[in-house]
Amino acid sequence: MATQPATESDFSLDAAAAVAEREGGKQLEGMGPWQLAWRRLKRNRVAMASLAVFFVLVGCCLAAPLYADHIAGRGPTATNATGTIQIDGKKTFVVTPDGTPIGPGLHKQYLLGADPLGRDVMVRLLYGGRNSLFVGFMAAIITAVLAVGLGLAAGYFRGWGDRVITNLFDILWSFPVLLFAIALGTALAIGGLQIGPVNLQGDSLWIPIVIIGVVYVPYFGRPIRGQVLSLREKEFVDAAVAQGMRAPRIMFGEILPNLSSTILVFGTLIIANNILLEAALSFLGAGIQPPEPSWGGLISDGVNQIYTAPHLSLVPGVAIVIAVLSLNVFGDGLRDALDPRAKVRLR
């Protein structure tokens, strides 16, 4: 058996183990890969801050009803086209007679301005965020479940099942993601989905969830299948088979845990991409259907007033960017922490 020459990364892991021994003062074997990864992640302050930002954003959106009730004083669909509020002591129209709504400012009502119907943009932003984030997250779960399930089955069993699944992936993959989602979105928006026991209305939130969930399955499923293929050849699988373990137990008990880091990293990325995709779909009208607010929908509502009331379209975009960017930065940090062959590690 060939012995590997020591490389820099070997030193890094040995060093970590050595430090662990020193710190603990006991005969530690060295830290397991998960503890090492967690330690590295915690040290990455940018990534942790990013995660915090994301959680704060989610928290704010979840607190939408609280905000609406206690601060803004109106819900996301409450119109107020002819009303007035006090700004700097002056009584101002919420929407001027020629249709221009007020912009963002430091007032409790209409913190981020109003739309032409007099609705509170901040409130709609938070409620829209709830919808958009919910869709993004649930869709990611669907993608993960389907991709891991199919990828595991294809990679482990091989044979004709694998061929069918791979071809399915290839065909789905030929549809660019947005186009595919649009096709599904528009087809389902009119009449809803009626397959067997499943009966969804055209404007149900679950339709974009299912669509976005399905659309990314090949993107996630192929790498999973690839990893399963190589994991399958490792000795611990042979050992499990020799022990008489049956296929499902091997797949879920032995192989799946080894996929965890891929799933984690990809999962974060998928949620970020889902938010962007949902925004694009809703912008076009093939995603979350009105009157439910969504970030993409808000942007599309404001397109016609882009020059007179730019805040309508620009503000929701900022929310999207914050959500996606924080996830991406955290995802980077997660990938760095989980990578056992971490190369250049500078002090």
Partner 1 sequence: MLRFTVRRLINMVFVLWAVSVLTFLIFMVMPGGGDEQAALRIAGRNANEQQVQTVKREWGLDDPFYVQYADMMKKVFTGDLISYVNQVNVREEIVRGIPRTASLVIGAGIIWLFFGVVFGVLSAVYAGRFTDRALNVLALIGISLPVFWVGLVLLYYLTDRIALFPPGGYTELGEDPVDWAYHLILPWFALSILFIGFYSRVLRSNVLDISNEDYVRTARSKGLSERRVLIRHTLRNALIPIVTLFGLDFGAALGGGAILTESVFGLQGVGQYASDSIGRLDLPPIMGVVLFGAFFIVLLNAIVDILYAFLDPRIRLQ
Partner 2 sequence: MSTTEPAAPASRPTDETLLTVEDLEVAFATEDGLVEAVDGVSFELKAGEVLAIVGESGSGKSVTAMTLMGLTRSPNARFSGTAHYEGTELIGASEDELRRVRGAEIAMVFQDPMTSLNPVHKIGDQIIEQIQEHEAMPDQQARERTIELLERVGIPRARDRIDSYPFEFSGGMRQRVMIALALSCDPSILIADEPTTALDVTIQAQILQRVRDLREETGAAVILVTHDLGVVADIADRIAVMYAGRIIEEGTLDQIFYDPQHPYTWGLLGSITRVDRPRPERLPAIRGLPPSLADRPQGCHFRPRCPHEFAKCPEVPPLESRVEGAPGHRDRCWLSVEEKRERREVRPGEIGLPDKEEEAPAA
What is the binding site for partner 2 (CB under 8 A)?
A: 2-6, 8, 10-12, 14-19, 21-22, 40, 43, 344-347
CB of 64 to partner 1, least distance (A): 21
Q: How far apart are the C-alpha atoms of 335 and 342, rounded to whole Å?
A: 10
Q: Is 20:30 a contact under the CB 8 Å cutoff?
A: yes
Among 20, 175, 204, 258, binds partner 1 (CB under 8 A): 175
Q: Does 145 bind partner 1 (CB under 8 A)?
A: no
Measured from the CB atom, the residue of 34 and 252 that comes closer to partner 2 is 34
Q: Does 347 bind partner 1 (CB under 8 A)?
A: no
288 — phi, psi (to 5°)? -70, 120
- Residue 95 corresponds to which tokens in the numbers above? 């929407």
CB of 49 to partner 2, least distance (A): 19
Count of residues interacting with partner 1 (CB under 8 A) = 52
Of 19-27, 223-231, 251-259, 304-312, the window that binds partner 1 (rule: CB under 8 A) is 304-312
Q: How far apart are the C-alpha atoms of 21 and 184, rounded to whole Å?
A: 56
Q: Letter for the amino acid at 275?
A: I
Measured from the CB atom, the residue of 13 and 53 that comes closer to partner 2 is 13
Q: Is 288:282 a contact under the CB 8 Å cutoff?
A: yes
289 to each of 106, 127, 297, how far by Cα in Å?
31, 14, 8
Q: How far apart are the C-alpha atoms of 178 and 282, rounded to whole Å?
A: 11
Q: How far apart are the C-alpha atoms of 81 and 79, rounded to whole Å?
A: 6
**Residue 69, binding choice from partner 2, partner 1, none, Cβ under 5 to 8 Å by partner class:** none
Among 147, 182, 217, 270, binds partner 1 (CB under 8 A): 182
Q: How far apart are the C-alpha atoms of 198 and 147, rounded to whole Å?
A: 21
Query: In the complex, which residues of this chain contact partner 1 (CB under 8 A)?
Result: 167, 170-172, 174-179, 182-195, 272, 276, 279-280, 283-286, 296, 299, 303, 306-307, 310, 313-314, 316-317, 320-321, 324-325, 328-329, 332, 343-344, 346
